[in-house]
Amino acid sequence: MTWTREKRYKKYQDWGAQELLELQTKAANSKTITHYHIHPISGLINDPNGFSYYNGEYHLFCQAYPFGPVHGLKSWIHFTSPDLVHWQYRGQAINPDTDKDNAGAYSGSGFVHNGNLLLMYTGNHRDPDWTRIPYQLIDEMDQKGHFHKWDEDLIPQPDHVTEHFRDPQLFEHEGQYFVLVGAQDKKTKTGQIDVFASNDLHNWHEDGYLHFTDKDMGYMIECPNLVFVDQKPVLIFCPQGIDKSVVHYDNIYPNMYIIGDQVDLSKAEFKTNQSSPLNLDEGFDVYATQAFNAPDGNAYAVSWVGLPDLSYPSDNEGWANMYSQVKRLEIKHNKLYQHPVKAIESLRYDKQEITSGMQTGNQYEVKLIIKKGQKGQLHLNANQDLTNGLILDFDTGTDAKLIIDRGQSNPLVNSDYGTRRTIPLNKTEDLDLDIFVDHSLCEIFVNDGEHVATLRFFANEGDQTIGFTAGTQVNGILWKMKSIL
């Protein structure tokens, strides 16, 4: 099937129910779809949107295209959770059903206001000649789950930016409302974060581009996201086209962060001692992470596991992409640490001590300590002779590092961007790994969240062996993990 533009932007009401039922059935029977991580009911999801706590539960929305594993006419779908682990699908939320969002209800954020949840998003409007006009819009959800779209284009595209003006983050800071918008400067064609302020949510003025670095952030910044972690402002964002001499990265586009000392949004100033942003995830497949400050005092983040402009081997199963688990953020040693939330432990069952050669299944968590001063390999979802599978190549001696190698699992995933990722470790220390596998998804938390590496990988369904290089000193626990979706 060829996904022409015409087909991808066909109105939802012009699709047939039978096609949708078949696609949902195909996704539901996929052997590689996740079962304790958010996935599409059918078709594609990408950026997390509107991540928030409202009306006694957590809300998470997804950029979604229900009719195929491609980027088509986007809507928001909705999940809710009592604990950030057990998610319930709540169906369609923002539909692309007005003129202002006629080519998609694009990404945005959630903000609780006057007892309702304001979902601010970019209406992706296309003229008949396919020229884009981005509108910054609000869809307001009440306690009964009813939606009401505001009429206003709240922040018309400024003259000095191109059509690439999207992904509004709406929040309150020091008594004023602010919106950060990802933008491309018209003159310099550089990626920027444009800051707007308001006292009433209706009348907005521009504070200017956020100054958070002197370095060139490439040609576009997507998904700007300011969150406070341990009292410090942290800016999470996706710079596209950033030069690898500024920050090294291996993925097609990186997801980065920078920790500030303070932020003065009225002056569009983000003060930091960090010379450059850092990669948020050291795996292969994280993008568009969205974080928010929850009422419990924590900052939580969730990531799209997938990347723009790439496809995955499972796309032919009627669905594309999933989300990471929710990660609690912390600052330690001037770095961002990411931790599984406590409630993920409620999914564990069938606890076992790990021995090399045992069978893990393909939905599990392993926690293990690899003693210092060793070199070797950990194989996950390997065949019996360990020649296929996901490989973690570790050195806990003086040249301490962890190499994640998905080049020995089949089919390969976007190998144009390399099949290995290297995480530098501290010399001669024990290595602490907390690894979550959910079918074709793997999340590796290294040394209590100092590093996180998230990736897709594809093993043969029957390849479920965990194995170590002979003689490795390792202590580990395996739990099977329950399904929540």
- Residues 473, 354 contacting (CB under 8 angstroms): no
9 or 89: CB nearest its own copies: 89
Q: Does 90 bind its own copies (CB under 8 A)?
A: yes
Taking phi over 0 as left and psi of -120 to 50 as alpha, with beta for the rest, 218 belongs to left
- Residues 221, 192 contacting (CB under 8 angstroms): yes
Peptide bond just before 69 cis, omega within 30 deg: no
* C-beta neighbour count of 97 within 10 angstroms: 13
Q: In what order do the strands lie in the sheet with 105-113?
A: 105-113, 116-126, 132-141, 147-149
| Run of H or E residues at 120 | strand 116-126
**Site track for its own copies across 26-45, x = CB under 8 A:** xxxx-----x----------
Identify the residue among 4, 18, 131, 231 touching its own copies (CB under 8 A). Answer: 18
Residue 180 structure tokens: 């950060």
- Within 208-267, the residues that bind its own copies by CB under 8 A are none
Q: Does 89 bind its own copies (CB under 8 A)?
A: yes
Residue 262 structure tokens: 């303070």
Contact range with its own copies by CB under 8 A, out of 17-25, 114-122, 216-224, 431-439:
17-25
281 is catalytic: no
Q: How far is the CB of 362 from its own copies (least distance, A)?
A: 13
Q: Does 143 bind its own copies (CB under 8 A)?
A: no
Q: Does 482 bind its own copies (CB under 8 A)?
A: yes
Q: How far is the CB of 323 from its own copies (least distance, A)?
A: 18
Identify the residue among 3, 127, 143, 145 touching its own copies (CB under 8 A). Answer: 145
Residue 236 phi/psi, 5° resolution?
-110, 135
Q: Does 91 bind its own copies (CB under 8 A)?
A: yes
**What 3-state DSSP class applies to 91?**
strand
Beta-carbon contacts of 253 under 8 Å, excluding residues fewer than 6 positions away, are 238, 239, 240, 287, 307, 308
89 or 417: CB nearest its own copies: 89
Identify the residue among 1, 4, 6, 17 touching its own copies (CB under 8 A). Answer: 17
82 or 424: CB nearest its own copies: 82
Contact range with its own copies by CB under 8 A, out of 15-23, 190-198, 257-265, 277-285:
15-23
Residue 32 phi/psi, 5° resolution?
-110, -5
Identify the residue among 7, 8, 9, 20 touching its own copies (CB under 8 A). Answer: 20
Q: Does 186 bind its own copies (CB under 8 A)?
A: no
**What 3-state DSSP class applies to 466?**
strand
Q: Does 92 bind its own copies (CB under 8 A)?
A: yes
Contact range with its own copies by CB under 8 A, out of 13-21, 188-196, 264-272, 276-284:
13-21
- Within 315-354, the residues that bind its own copies by CB under 8 A are 346, 349
203 or 346: CB nearest its own copies: 346
Q: Does 25 bind its own copies (CB under 8 A)?
A: yes
Choose the catalytic residue: 47, 101, 438, 463. Answer: 47
Nearest to 222 by CA among 254, 251, 249: 254
Q: How far is the CB of 482 from its own copies (least distance, A)?
A: 7
Identify the residue among 5, 19, 127, 148 touching its own copies (CB under 8 A). Answer: 19
* C-beta neighbour count of 352 within 10 angstroms: 15
Residue 349: how many CA atoms within 13 Å on its side-chain side? 6
**Site track for its own copies across 55-84, x = CB under 8 A:** -----------xx-----------------
**Cα dist. 315→32, 169, 194, 312, 431 in Å?**
10, 30, 35, 6, 35
Q: How far is the CB of 448 from its own copies (least distance, A)?
A: 27
In 306-446, which ranges are continuous DSSP H helix?
none
Q: How far is the CB of 481 from its own copies (least distance, A)?
A: 12
Q: Does 22 bind its own copies (CB under 8 A)?
A: yes
The whole-angstrom separation of Cα 179 and Cα 199 is: 12
215 or 348: CB nearest its own copies: 348
**What 3-state DSSP class applies to 40?**
coil
Q: Does 16 bind its own copies (CB under 8 A)?
A: yes
**Cα dist. 154→64, 120, 208, 211, 237 in Å?**
23, 9, 16, 23, 22
Residue 451 structure tokens: 């590093």
Residue 221 structure tokens: 């910044």
Question: Total residues contacting its own copies (rule CB under 8 A)?
Answer: 32
What residues are annotated to the active site? 47
Residues that bind its own copies (CB under 8 A): 11-22, 24-29, 35, 66-67, 86, 88-92, 145, 346, 349, 482-483
